[in-house]
Amino acid sequence: MDKKRYRVCHLLYEEYPRDPRVRRYVNALNENNIYCIIICSKKKNDPYFQELNGNLIYRIPVSKKRGSFLFTLIEYLLFSWLASFMLVYTGIKYRFKIVHTHTLPDFLIFAALWNKLFGAKLILDLHEIFPELYMARTGASADSFKVKLLKLAEKLSIKLANVVITIHDNAKDIFVRRNNIPEGKINVVMNSVDPREFPLPASPAENEFIIIYNGTIVKLLNLTLVVKALAKLKGEIPEADYNKLVFKLYGDGPALPEILALAKSMGVEDKVQYMGYLQPAEMRKEVLKTGVLILPPEKNIYSDLFYTIKLIETIYLKIPVIATRLNTYLKYYSEDSLFYFNSGSVDELSSQIKEVFYNKELVAQKTANARSDYDKLSWEIMRDRYVGIVHGLLKQ
Q: What's the pLDDT tens digit per position in 177-219? A: 999 998 889 999 999 998 888 888 888 888 899 999 988 888 8
Residue 66 has what pLDDT? 64
Is residue 254 over pLDDT 50?
yes
Residue 153 has what pLDDT? 95
Residue 196 has what pLDDT? 87
Selection from 221, 217, 215 nearest residue 303 by Cα: 221
What is the rounded CA–CA span in Å between residue 291 and residue 208? Answer: 8
pLDDT band (50, 70, 90) for residue 133 = confident
Strands 6-12 and 49-52, by their bridges, are: unpaired
Residue 67 has what pLDDT? 65
Spell out where the chain has E strands. Answer: 6-12, 35-41, 49-52, 55-60, 98-102, 121-126, 163-166, 186-188, 209-216, 245-252, 272-276, 292-295, 321-324, 339-341
pLDDT band (50, 70, 90) for residue 382 = very high
Q: What is the mean pLDDT of residues 262-285?
A: 90
Residue 1 has what pLDDT? 41
Maximum Cα–Cα distance across the chain: 68
pLDDT band (50, 70, 90) for residue 63 = confident
Domains and CATH numbers, the chain: 3-192+378-394 (3.40.50.2000), 196-375 (3.40.50.2000)
pLDDT band (50, 70, 90) for residue 45 = confident
pLDDT band (50, 70, 90) for residue 2 = very low
Buried b (16+ CB within 10 A) or exposed e, 251-263: bebebbeebbebb
Q: How many residues does the chain have?
A: 396
pLDDT in tens, 75-97: 999 999 999 999 999 999 999 99
Is residue 43 over pLDDT 90?
no
How many angstroms separate the Cα of 116 from the Cα of each of 17, 122, 247, 384?
26, 7, 47, 25
What is the rounded CA–CA span in Å between residue 54 and residue 150? Answer: 36
157 in Cβ contact with 134 (< 8 Å): no
Is residue 108 over pLDDT 50?
yes
82 in Cβ contact with 378 (< 8 Å): no
Is residue 32 over pLDDT 80?
yes
What is the rounded CA–CA span in Å between residue 388 and residue 366? Answer: 33
Is residue 3 over pLDDT 70?
no
Residue 223 has what pLDDT? 95
Q: What is the mean pLDDT of residues 216-229?
A: 92
Average pLDDT, the chain: 92
* pLDDT-wise least confident of 20-34, 67-81, 107-121, 240-254: 67-81
What is the rounded CA–CA span in Å between residue 126 and residue 282? Answer: 28
Selection from 163, 188, 186, 165 nearest residue 176 by Cα: 186
* pLDDT-wise least confident of 73-87, 167-181, 272-286: 272-286
Is residue 126 over pLDDT 90?
yes
Residue 109 has what pLDDT? 97
What is the rounded CA–CA span in Å between residue 62 and residue 41? Answer: 6
Residue 199 has what pLDDT? 85
325 in Cβ contact with 342 (< 8 Å): yes
Percentage above 90 pLDDT, the chain: 74
Per DSSP, what are the bridge partners of residue 121?
A: 98
